A = this chain, B = another copy of it.
Amino acid sequence: MNMNTFGAHLRLTSFGESHGVALGGVLDGYPGGVALDLDRVQRAVNRRRPGQSNLTTPRKEADEVEWLSGIFEGVSTGAPIAFLVRNQDARSRDYAQIKDIYRPGHADEAYDAKYGIRDYRGGGRSSARETVVRVIGGALAAQLIPEVHVQSLVASVGTYRCEEWNEDEVFRGLGGDENSVRTLRAEDALKMEALIAQAREEGDSLGGEISTLVRGVPAGWGEPIYDKLTARLASAMMSINATKGVEFGSGFAGAQLRGSQHNDQPDASGRYTTNHAGGFSAGISNGQTLQFNVAFKPVSTISQRQNARKRSGEVVSLEVEGRHDPCVLPRAVPVVEAMTYLVLADFSLIQKTRRI
Protein backbone atom coordinates (compact mmCIF):
# COMPACT_ATOMS: atom_id res chain seq x y z
CA MET A 1 0.00 0.00 0.00
CA ASN A 2 2.28 2.71 -1.19
CA MET A 3 0.15 5.69 -2.04
CA ASN A 4 2.31 8.62 -0.94
CA THR A 5 5.21 6.55 0.29
CA PHE A 6 8.01 5.35 -1.97
CA GLY A 7 10.43 2.57 -1.19
CA ALA A 8 10.51 -0.65 0.80
CA HIS A 9 13.31 -0.32 3.29
CA LEU A 10 14.28 3.30 2.71
CA ARG A 11 10.87 4.94 2.60
CA LEU A 12 10.03 8.45 1.47
CA THR A 13 6.60 9.73 2.48
CA SER A 14 5.56 12.86 0.65
CA PHE A 15 2.91 15.46 1.40
CA GLY A 16 1.74 18.88 0.33
CA GLU A 17 -0.03 20.68 -2.48
CA SER A 18 1.00 23.21 -5.06
CA HIS A 19 -0.80 26.06 -3.36
CA GLY A 20 -0.97 24.79 0.21
CA VAL A 21 1.29 25.80 3.08
CA ALA A 22 4.23 23.64 2.11
CA LEU A 23 5.55 20.56 0.41
CA GLY A 24 7.44 18.14 2.57
CA GLY A 25 8.58 14.63 3.22
CA VAL A 26 9.67 12.08 5.77
CA LEU A 27 12.53 9.77 4.89
CA ASP A 28 12.42 6.70 7.09
CA GLY A 29 14.85 3.79 7.27
CA TYR A 30 17.91 5.96 6.83
CA PRO A 31 20.77 4.37 8.80
CA GLY A 32 22.27 6.16 11.78
CA GLY A 33 25.76 7.58 11.67
CA VAL A 34 25.85 9.17 8.22
CA ALA A 35 27.48 12.60 8.24
CA LEU A 36 25.15 14.53 5.96
CA ASP A 37 26.05 17.29 3.53
CA LEU A 38 22.90 19.39 3.63
CA ASP A 39 24.32 21.99 1.27
CA ARG A 40 24.47 19.27 -1.35
CA VAL A 41 20.77 18.70 -0.80
CA GLN A 42 20.01 22.39 -1.23
CA ARG A 43 22.06 22.47 -4.43
CA ALA A 44 20.03 19.57 -5.80
CA VAL A 45 16.85 21.45 -4.95
CA ASN A 46 18.17 24.55 -6.69
CA ARG A 47 18.63 22.56 -9.89
CA ARG A 48 14.90 21.81 -9.88
CA ARG A 49 13.80 25.26 -8.75
CA PRO A 50 11.54 27.29 -11.02
CA GLY A 51 12.86 30.46 -12.59
CA GLN A 52 16.40 29.28 -13.26
CA SER A 53 16.35 30.38 -16.88
CA ASN A 54 13.92 31.75 -19.40
CA LEU A 55 13.06 28.16 -20.36
CA THR A 56 11.13 27.62 -17.17
CA THR A 57 8.12 28.95 -15.33
CA PRO A 58 8.59 32.40 -13.81
CA ARG A 59 6.95 31.22 -10.57
CA LYS A 60 9.24 32.48 -7.81
CA GLU A 61 10.12 30.04 -5.09
CA ALA A 62 13.15 30.21 -2.84
CA ASP A 63 12.70 26.50 -2.14
CA GLU A 64 14.75 26.55 1.00
CA VAL A 65 14.77 23.26 2.82
CA GLU A 66 13.69 23.38 6.47
CA TRP A 67 14.99 20.37 8.38
CA LEU A 68 12.65 19.13 11.07
CA SER A 69 14.05 15.91 12.50
CA GLY A 70 16.38 12.94 12.24
CA ILE A 71 19.65 14.84 12.14
CA PHE A 72 21.70 15.61 15.24
CA GLU A 73 24.90 17.60 15.05
CA GLY A 74 25.02 17.02 11.29
CA VAL A 75 24.73 13.25 11.52
CA SER A 76 21.74 11.01 10.78
CA THR A 77 20.40 9.41 13.96
CA GLY A 78 18.35 6.62 12.41
CA ALA A 79 15.16 8.52 13.25
CA PRO A 80 12.96 9.66 10.36
CA ILE A 81 14.35 12.68 8.55
CA ALA A 82 11.54 15.16 7.99
CA PHE A 83 11.74 18.34 5.98
CA LEU A 84 9.63 21.13 4.55
CA VAL A 85 9.73 23.49 1.62
CA ARG A 86 7.25 26.32 2.05
CA ASN A 87 5.20 27.69 -0.81
CA GLN A 88 5.67 31.38 -1.32
CA ASP A 89 4.44 32.49 -4.71
CA ALA A 90 1.15 30.60 -4.65
CA ARG A 91 -1.24 32.90 -6.47
CA SER A 92 -4.44 31.01 -5.91
CA ARG A 93 -6.48 33.71 -7.56
CA ASP A 94 -5.11 32.50 -10.87
CA TYR A 95 -7.07 29.34 -10.44
CA ALA A 96 -10.57 30.51 -9.55
CA GLN A 97 -11.56 30.42 -13.22
CA ILE A 98 -10.91 26.67 -13.45
CA LYS A 99 -12.70 25.70 -10.27
CA ASP A 100 -15.36 23.74 -12.11
CA ILE A 101 -13.47 23.05 -15.33
CA TYR A 102 -11.42 19.97 -16.13
CA ARG A 103 -8.31 21.17 -17.93
CA PRO A 104 -7.34 18.98 -20.92
CA GLY A 105 -4.44 16.67 -20.13
CA HIS A 106 -4.60 17.36 -16.41
CA ALA A 107 -5.50 15.30 -13.37
CA ASP A 108 -8.62 17.32 -12.64
CA GLU A 109 -11.31 14.94 -13.79
CA ALA A 110 -9.60 11.81 -12.49
CA TYR A 111 -9.06 13.27 -9.01
CA ASP A 112 -12.63 14.42 -8.82
CA ALA A 113 -13.81 10.93 -9.75
CA LYS A 114 -11.44 9.39 -7.26
CA TYR A 115 -12.08 11.48 -4.17
CA GLY A 116 -15.34 13.26 -4.90
CA ILE A 117 -13.50 16.51 -4.22
CA ARG A 118 -10.63 18.37 -5.82
CA ASP A 119 -8.19 21.01 -4.69
CA TYR A 120 -8.20 23.02 -7.90
CA ARG A 121 -5.46 25.46 -6.94
CA GLY A 122 -2.62 24.75 -9.34
CA GLY A 123 -3.36 21.08 -9.61
CA GLY A 124 -3.28 20.63 -5.85
CA ARG A 125 -1.63 17.37 -5.00
CA SER A 126 -1.14 16.40 -8.66
CA SER A 127 1.15 19.35 -9.34
CA ALA A 128 4.74 18.65 -10.37
CA ARG A 129 5.72 20.92 -7.52
CA GLU A 130 5.56 17.72 -5.45
CA THR A 131 8.76 16.57 -7.12
CA VAL A 132 10.79 18.90 -4.91
CA VAL A 133 10.20 16.34 -2.16
CA ARG A 134 11.74 13.63 -4.31
CA VAL A 135 14.78 15.74 -5.09
CA ILE A 136 15.44 16.20 -1.38
CA GLY A 137 14.91 12.52 -0.66
CA GLY A 138 17.14 11.57 -3.57
CA ALA A 139 19.95 13.85 -2.44
CA LEU A 140 19.89 12.16 0.95
CA ALA A 141 19.73 8.71 -0.65
CA ALA A 142 22.74 9.53 -2.81
CA GLN A 143 24.81 10.11 0.32
CA LEU A 144 24.12 6.54 1.41
CA ILE A 145 25.74 5.12 -1.72
CA PRO A 146 28.66 7.42 -2.54
CA GLU A 147 30.12 4.77 -4.85
CA VAL A 148 27.15 5.17 -7.23
CA HIS A 149 27.01 7.94 -9.82
CA VAL A 150 23.73 8.68 -11.58
CA GLN A 151 23.84 10.91 -14.63
CA SER A 152 20.66 11.95 -16.45
CA LEU A 153 20.64 14.13 -19.55
CA VAL A 154 18.06 15.48 -21.95
CA ALA A 155 18.37 13.35 -25.10
CA SER A 156 15.59 14.85 -27.18
CA VAL A 157 13.20 17.78 -27.21
CA GLY A 158 10.21 17.54 -29.50
CA THR A 159 11.46 16.05 -32.74
CA TYR A 160 15.06 17.09 -32.14
CA ARG A 161 17.22 14.21 -30.94
CA CYS A 162 20.90 14.28 -29.96
CA GLU A 163 23.26 11.85 -31.59
CA GLU A 164 24.25 8.85 -29.49
CA TRP A 165 26.64 9.61 -26.66
CA ASN A 166 29.67 7.70 -25.68
CA GLU A 167 29.47 6.53 -22.07
CA ASP A 168 32.86 7.92 -21.13
CA GLU A 169 31.91 11.26 -22.56
CA VAL A 170 28.89 11.36 -20.29
CA PHE A 171 30.85 10.60 -17.15
CA ARG A 172 33.72 12.93 -17.97
CA GLY A 173 32.24 15.26 -15.40
CA LEU A 174 30.31 17.53 -17.69
CA GLY A 175 27.07 16.69 -16.01
CA GLY A 176 25.06 18.69 -18.48
CA ASP A 177 24.74 21.62 -16.11
CA GLU A 178 26.77 23.98 -18.31
CA ASN A 179 23.68 24.59 -20.37
CA SER A 180 20.15 25.44 -19.39
CA VAL A 181 18.67 22.43 -21.21
CA ARG A 182 20.79 19.92 -19.28
CA THR A 183 21.92 18.06 -22.35
CA LEU A 184 25.47 16.87 -22.95
CA ARG A 185 26.67 18.98 -25.85
CA ALA A 186 26.55 22.75 -26.20
CA GLU A 187 25.52 22.61 -29.86
CA ASP A 188 22.48 20.47 -29.04
CA ALA A 189 21.61 22.79 -26.18
CA LEU A 190 21.48 25.80 -28.49
CA LYS A 191 19.10 24.13 -30.87
CA MET A 192 16.87 22.80 -28.11
CA GLU A 193 16.72 26.21 -26.45
CA ALA A 194 15.56 27.73 -29.69
CA LEU A 195 12.84 25.12 -30.07
CA ILE A 196 11.61 25.67 -26.54
CA ALA A 197 11.65 29.46 -26.94
CA GLN A 198 9.59 29.12 -30.08
CA ALA A 199 7.05 26.85 -28.42
CA ARG A 200 6.66 29.31 -25.56
CA GLU A 201 6.11 32.12 -27.97
CA GLU A 202 3.37 30.14 -29.65
CA GLY A 203 1.74 29.34 -26.32
CA ASP A 204 2.55 25.71 -26.88
CA SER A 205 4.68 23.07 -25.18
CA LEU A 206 7.20 20.32 -26.00
CA GLY A 207 8.01 16.86 -24.70
CA GLY A 208 11.14 14.80 -25.08
CA GLU A 209 13.32 12.10 -23.59
CA ILE A 210 15.77 11.89 -20.72
CA SER A 211 18.54 9.29 -20.81
CA THR A 212 20.13 8.02 -17.64
CA LEU A 213 23.40 6.20 -17.09
CA VAL A 214 24.48 4.82 -13.73
CA ARG A 215 27.94 3.69 -12.75
CA GLY A 216 29.03 1.98 -9.58
CA VAL A 217 26.15 -0.42 -8.99
CA PRO A 218 27.47 -3.88 -8.16
CA ALA A 219 25.83 -7.05 -9.47
CA GLY A 220 22.93 -8.28 -7.38
CA TRP A 221 20.74 -5.27 -6.61
CA GLY A 222 17.02 -5.70 -7.21
CA GLU A 223 14.68 -8.43 -6.09
CA PRO A 224 13.12 -11.27 -8.01
CA ILE A 225 10.31 -11.67 -9.03
CA TYR A 226 8.03 -8.71 -8.59
CA ASP A 227 10.47 -6.17 -7.26
CA LYS A 228 13.09 -6.27 -9.97
CA LEU A 229 15.39 -3.30 -10.26
CA THR A 230 13.85 -2.63 -13.67
CA ALA A 231 10.34 -2.98 -12.27
CA ARG A 232 11.01 -0.57 -9.43
CA LEU A 233 12.78 1.93 -11.66
CA ALA A 234 9.91 1.75 -14.13
CA SER A 235 7.47 2.42 -11.34
CA ALA A 236 9.64 5.27 -10.08
CA MET A 237 9.83 6.87 -13.51
CA MET A 238 6.14 6.49 -14.27
CA SER A 239 5.39 8.11 -10.93
CA ILE A 240 7.01 11.31 -12.20
CA ASN A 241 4.59 13.82 -13.68
CA ALA A 242 4.18 13.80 -17.48
CA THR A 243 6.07 10.56 -18.16
CA LYS A 244 4.76 8.35 -20.95
CA GLY A 245 7.14 5.42 -21.06
CA VAL A 246 10.41 3.91 -19.98
CA GLU A 247 12.83 1.54 -21.68
CA PHE A 248 15.92 -0.24 -20.43
CA GLY A 249 19.12 -0.89 -22.38
CA SER A 250 18.26 -1.59 -26.01
CA GLY A 251 14.62 -0.96 -25.15
CA PHE A 252 11.96 -0.84 -27.85
CA ALA A 253 14.59 -0.90 -30.58
CA GLY A 254 16.05 -4.06 -29.05
CA ALA A 255 12.74 -5.82 -29.61
CA GLN A 256 13.61 -5.84 -33.31
CA LEU A 257 16.94 -7.60 -32.86
CA ARG A 258 17.62 -11.31 -32.92
CA GLY A 259 18.89 -13.19 -29.87
CA SER A 260 22.26 -13.73 -31.52
CA GLN A 261 22.60 -9.96 -31.90
CA HIS A 262 21.09 -8.96 -28.59
CA ASN A 263 22.84 -11.27 -26.13
CA ASP A 264 25.83 -9.53 -24.59
CA GLN A 265 28.79 -11.88 -24.75
CA PRO A 266 32.17 -11.62 -23.07
CA ASP A 267 35.27 -11.30 -25.18
CA ALA A 268 38.28 -13.52 -24.56
CA SER A 269 39.32 -11.38 -21.58
CA GLY A 270 35.90 -11.80 -19.96
CA ARG A 271 34.81 -8.21 -20.63
CA TYR A 272 31.38 -7.54 -22.06
CA THR A 273 31.75 -5.33 -25.12
CA THR A 274 28.07 -4.60 -25.62
CA ASN A 275 25.39 -3.65 -23.13
CA HIS A 276 22.06 -4.30 -24.82
CA ALA A 277 20.87 -5.56 -21.47
CA GLY A 278 21.38 -2.05 -20.07
CA GLY A 279 23.07 -3.47 -17.01
CA PHE A 280 20.13 -5.64 -15.96
CA SER A 281 19.98 -9.45 -16.06
CA ALA A 282 16.54 -10.81 -15.27
CA GLY A 283 15.86 -7.37 -13.88
CA ILE A 284 18.75 -7.47 -11.42
CA SER A 285 21.90 -5.39 -11.73
CA ASN A 286 24.69 -7.35 -13.40
CA GLY A 287 27.61 -5.04 -12.70
CA GLN A 288 27.54 -3.22 -16.05
CA THR A 289 26.52 0.42 -16.44
CA LEU A 290 22.79 0.88 -15.99
CA GLN A 291 20.98 2.53 -18.90
CA PHE A 292 17.41 3.64 -19.34
CA ASN A 293 15.35 6.26 -21.15
CA VAL A 294 12.19 8.01 -20.08
CA ALA A 295 9.68 9.71 -22.38
CA PHE A 296 7.89 12.88 -21.26
CA LYS A 297 4.82 14.22 -22.95
CA PRO A 298 4.53 17.91 -23.83
CA VAL A 299 3.26 19.82 -20.80
CA SER A 300 -0.52 19.89 -20.68
CA THR A 301 -0.72 23.53 -19.65
CA ILE A 302 -0.64 25.63 -22.80
CA SER A 303 -1.86 29.14 -23.50
CA GLN A 304 -3.85 28.24 -26.59
CA ARG A 305 -7.61 28.07 -26.48
CA GLN A 306 -8.96 24.56 -25.96
CA ASN A 307 -12.23 22.77 -25.36
CA ALA A 308 -12.74 21.57 -21.80
CA ARG A 309 -15.39 19.67 -19.92
CA LYS A 310 -17.00 21.14 -16.84
CA ARG A 311 -17.99 19.21 -13.76
CA SER A 312 -21.54 19.54 -14.98
CA GLY A 313 -20.68 17.87 -18.29
CA GLU A 314 -20.98 21.11 -20.26
CA VAL A 315 -18.17 21.84 -22.74
CA VAL A 316 -16.55 25.28 -22.64
CA SER A 317 -13.78 27.04 -24.47
CA LEU A 318 -10.87 27.56 -22.11
CA GLU A 319 -7.82 29.76 -22.25
CA VAL A 320 -5.69 29.00 -19.24
CA GLU A 321 -3.78 31.84 -17.66
CA GLY A 322 -1.00 31.29 -15.22
CA ARG A 323 2.66 30.47 -15.45
CA HIS A 324 4.09 27.24 -16.77
CA ASP A 325 7.13 25.59 -18.27
CA PRO A 326 6.91 25.19 -22.04
CA CYS A 327 9.15 22.13 -21.65
CA VAL A 328 9.75 20.37 -18.35
CA LEU A 329 12.68 18.27 -19.47
CA PRO A 330 15.48 20.45 -18.05
CA ARG A 331 13.86 20.62 -14.63
CA ALA A 332 12.92 16.94 -14.75
CA VAL A 333 16.57 15.87 -14.99
CA PRO A 334 17.24 16.23 -11.24
CA VAL A 335 13.93 14.50 -10.51
CA VAL A 336 14.87 11.46 -12.61
CA GLU A 337 18.23 11.35 -10.87
CA ALA A 338 16.62 11.63 -7.45
CA MET A 339 14.19 8.79 -8.05
CA THR A 340 17.04 6.66 -9.33
CA TYR A 341 19.08 7.29 -6.20
CA LEU A 342 16.10 6.49 -3.99
CA VAL A 343 15.60 3.16 -5.74
CA LEU A 344 19.26 2.24 -5.67
CA ALA A 345 19.85 3.22 -2.04
CA ASP A 346 16.83 1.16 -1.03
CA PHE A 347 18.13 -1.92 -2.82
CA SER A 348 21.61 -1.37 -1.42
CA LEU A 349 20.15 -1.71 2.06
CA ILE A 350 18.00 -4.70 1.15
CA GLN A 351 20.95 -6.47 -0.42
CA LYS A 352 22.74 -6.45 2.96
CA THR A 353 20.32 -9.18 3.99
CA ARG A 354 20.32 -11.51 1.00
CA ARG A 355 23.38 -13.67 1.64
CA ILE A 356 24.81 -15.01 4.82
Contact = CB atoms under 8 A, between A and B. Distances in A.
A166 interface: no
B105 A262 contact: yes
Contact of A106 (B76, B235, B282): B282
A244 interface: yes
B282 A126 contact: yes
Interface in A10-60: 11, 13-17, 20-24, 26, 28-29, 31-34
B300 A259 contact: yes
Interface stretch (A169-177, A178-186, A202-210): A202-210
Sort chain A's interface into a size bin: 35 or more
A197 interface: no
A51 to B, nearest CB: 21
B238 A228 contact: yes
A181 to B, nearest CB: 15
Contacts of A130: 225
Contact of A227 (B2, B260, B313): B2
Contacts of A301: 259
B235 A4 contact: no
Contacts of A285: 110
A97 interface: no
A287 interface: yes
B31 A354 contact: yes
Contacts of A227: 1-3, 239
A238 B283 contact: yes
B239 A78 contact: no
Contacts of A22: 68-69
Contact of A26 (B26, B107, B114, B308): B26
A254 B158 contact: no
Contacts of A299: 259
A199 interface: yes
9 contacts: A3-B29, A14-B80, A78-B354, A104-B266, A125-B224, A156-B255, A234-B246, A244-B255, A245-B252
Q: Across the A-B interface, give the 10 residue pairs with the lowest CB-CB distance, nearest first.
A: A32-B115, A245-B247, A107-B282, A205-B259, A113-B219, A78-B115, A114-B220, A113-B220, A15-B82, A235-B235
Given A16-B82, A126-B224, 12 more contacts: A1-B8, A13-B80, A31-B115, A32-B117, A33-B115, A109-B281, A111-B284, A156-B255, A158-B258, A205-B260, A232-B235, A244-B278
